[in-house]
Chains A and B, each alone.
Chain A
């Protein structure tokens, strides 16, 4: 066991973990870009994820992020390269196809939502892996990258050049663009999203196209997943989607507060995760998600809104109320 202690957790050296990354301009530039990328990812996924969680579709995020794989593979096979645009188009189409199949199965067969979800996305994912294996040939599509990404390589991404101007890191621009797009859409459609999530009948009577909002959300999810793919991989996207709003729900009551809270939380995940990865020398994305989990635990115990310790102090009737509420739907 001593071997595990020494090797698994390296010695905690304060200066190495906290000071060194910010010592000289070069490393500040490098780490700064990494952190900025992380911020974009956390904020995008945090905002989207609040709606996903509130609609009780948390695992839909998991499903879509797996389901885009055949789209990526087909785009790659058709164009023969890792060009960005066709992969985006392919991924979005695959994501929409995935959610459409799930809806169809749910409505037209006796198969339940959860089984339909599991069935469709695993089939899509299997298809994607098979396609990649069939056509991988020359270009290396690293499966590890898909599964947990490598955000540390962000500064290595080529520069974006428009009309002869060097605008800087392309990956950052792409992610920044996606982030602004999604934030903008949420801002413009906030009321539609809120009402259709809470009461679809009221939404319909107000003329809100509930189905379109749903597929719009799925599209946003597919976009965000593709954008985050290289950095955090498909599975850790789920962490970024679910943790912020669930953690915030132990402090705030209203949906708008949850959305606002995902900004400071996202920043915390980024910075905390970065330094955690500095210490442990492990995958950055994994560290960010782990930090999110670490933040979640005390919040769920101590948060004023139905935190566990608070409820225990108030008495045990609350547990039973929870159970009957859960039972009734």
Chain B
């Protein structure tokens, strides 16, 4: 657990799509044992950031380091919980099968699933209150239950860094509270969690660090320091998307401080 490298290190990351920048010049260093929320408006590049870290998207510039290693090798250290829309719910697997998949990374190629693996899987399912559903096919679950199954899989992976893409989307309030308490428990045990979150209001109480993202890193730091009106306005109100800048301008939001021209050396 005591790793000389930071769990996540990003430098000057630039990702564009069809000649429009989606992420530009992102610098980020996340310490171990943080529960980080990534917030920003739609189209701000939050999902792109997650996909770039998971090596699903190639950046145009800059780099990502996961525990000091390049993404291709580093993603084996990440427990990833995808967005729910991307899953094929008709696939013939049970809840237990999905959670056991999380253990495959620990097993060698030809080693069978052992008692330890099953025990760990059961514990993880118990943690998310899904053990009674262990033999149910994953399509026969509600939205909140499905989310919890994938969380259990991530837990079973026993990773040090977790990356979750909108885990609370479309989930009932009770499940949300359960998941948050599980995440905080993981953080207390020294895990690092980076969560893409869609709701500004709850972000303040859920996370201890926040990354405000809108194509550029607007701010990153402890929630108390970063959750400030001017920074939030820059993230949400002062949209960097070129086209909607006009709309912001006409709404009276001061996008550019002209005085800053002369303060820089």
Contacts and interface: CB of A to CB of B under 8 A. Distances in A.
A touches B (Cβ under 8 A): yes
Interface string A191-225: 10011011101101111000000000000000000
Contacts of A54: 91-92
A93 to B, nearest CB: 28
Given A253-B92, A258-B92, A188 B76 contact: no
Contact of A205 (B85, B90, B105, B139): B105
B94 interface: yes
Interface string A98-137: 0000000000000000000000000000000000000000
B86 to A, nearest CB: 8
Nearest to A255: B92
A254 interface: yes
Nearest to B135: A253
B56 to A, nearest CB: 7
B92 A254 contact: yes
B215 to A, nearest CB: 24
A325 interface: yes
Interface string B37-78: 000000000000000001110000000000000000001101
Interface of B is mostly: loop
Given A205-B76, A325-B89, A194 B101 contact: yes
Contact of A204 (B55, B82, B85, B137): B55
Interface residues of A, number: 26
Given A205-B76, A206-B105, A198 B54 contact: no
Nearest to B79: A205
Given A188-B110, A206-B76, A199 B92 contact: no
Contacts of A305: 137
A194 B89 CA distance: 14
B87 interface: yes
Interface of A: 54, 56, 188, 191, 194-195, 197-199, 201-202, 204-207, 249, 252-255, 257-258, 305, 325, 328-329
16 contacts: A191-B104, A194-B101, A195-B104, A198-B88, A199-B87, A201-B56, A202-B80, A204-B56, A205-B78, A252-B92, A253-B92, A255-B92, A258-B92, A325-B89, A325-B139, A329-B85
Interface of B: 54-56, 75-76, 78, 80, 82, 85, 87-94, 97-98, 101, 104-105, 109-110, 135, 137, 139
